[in-house]
Amino acid sequence: MERGLESCGRPESNGLRALPIAWTVKELWSRVLETLNLLSPQELSNFRILLKSVDEETRVTPWRLELEGKSKEGLARLLVQHYCEPAAASRVLIKVLQQLRRADLLQRWQDAAATYDQGIPRKILKRSYDCVDGELDCYDLRGKRKAFVMCVEKNRPGAHRDIHLMEEWLGQCQFEHTQCINPNKMELIKKIRSFRDGLNESKDDVGCCLVTLMSHGEKGSIKMEDGEKVSLEDIFEMFNNKNCPALQEKPKIFIIQACRGEKRDCGVETDDAPMESDDISEKRRLPTFSDYFIIYPTQADHVALRHPRTGSVMIEAMSEVFKQHGNKWHIADFFTKVNNRVVHTEFHLHEEPIKVSLVMESTLTKFVYF
């Protein structure tokens, strides 16, 4: 169980003011390009499509986009030429970035729109895939993002805080969620099957599924309010490629906040070639289990930590890291940062030092960016 613890030469006839001295054309172009460089190839493609319909005069015409906006540099130049007022350029970028769901880039341009005569947005940290050569293949998350949140509150002080933080995080990541609080075994199985069936029967494309289970637990299972156990493998199996075709080649993310045993880690003091296949069938196949990402709050057989007031250590760290970095990280990189925070934080259980480390299991085939 868990343990609690230059100026811009626009004609005056257009009715637009000249660019403030603090903003030269070169500087504005540089900042716009900086933002474009942080978009994935798919996001850039969508950026060009969305730009055609932005309700901001004068609208960029499709033929100019085709002729001048194929490269990032050309696209940035086109934006500066059309929207040379910093406030106008900021408004356009905000509208497009909102539809791209790039919350991590929005704040700096929102600040610029409000106080554009005071300076240029600060340099933006790179998204994790910008450090890698070549284009990366990312999951298409433009479909519906569906989440299931289960939490047992009985004998788990701070659980209400976990629910609040998790729902806040899911909202920031554009998930619609189904809530399941204090179920017994049959209620959980019924509700999670109904959630899974809803995905399979949905007329809308589903882009991603996320299941959060927060309760007491032990190796391979979680416990319900009445103490009955539910196998995690049984829950994972409900969403595999056979039982949930709606999620084939879609990311299936599981966040498990529960103990995995009774062991405690008090920590250690320190000084300071493609495979060939015999299958000649032309029919494309997938393994039964693929595109999974599972995060546990602790190592196998070990306890998880939860504070009676601030909630579970992992959930709180997730919230803090997201507030600091937004959604610019691939999910594995995001949870690596969460783990870094958890590992380097001091905890005590009954006045004894205790350390925990998150564990990630992945069969993802692409990159996940919320």
Distance CA 35, CA 30 (A): 9
Query: Going by C-beta distance under 8 Å and a sequence separation of 6 or more, which residues neighbour residue 43?
Result: 100, 102
Q: What is the dihedral of CA 355, 358, 359, 362, to 10 degrees?
A: -170
Q: Which of 58, 47, 48, 79 is nearest to 11 (CA)?
A: 58
Query: Going by C-beta distance under 8 Å and a sequence separation of 6 or more, which residues neighbour residue 289?
Result: 236, 240, 241, 363
Structure tokens at 46: 């969508």
Active-site annotation, residues = 216, 259
- DSSP H helices in 177-228: 185-201
Q: Which of 121, 109, 122, 178 is nearest to 148 (CA)?
A: 178
**Number of helical (H) and strand (E) elements in the chain, helices listed first:** 11, 14
Give the three-class secondary structure for 63: helix
Assess contact for 320 and 341: CB atoms under 8 A. Answer: yes
Structure tokens at 121: 């947005």
Distance CA 318, CA 107 (A): 20
**Burial of 15 from C-beta contacts in 10 A (0-12 / 13-18 / 19+):** exposed
**Burial of 348 from C-beta contacts in 10 A (0-12 / 13-18 / 19+):** exposed
C-alpha R_g of the chain: 24
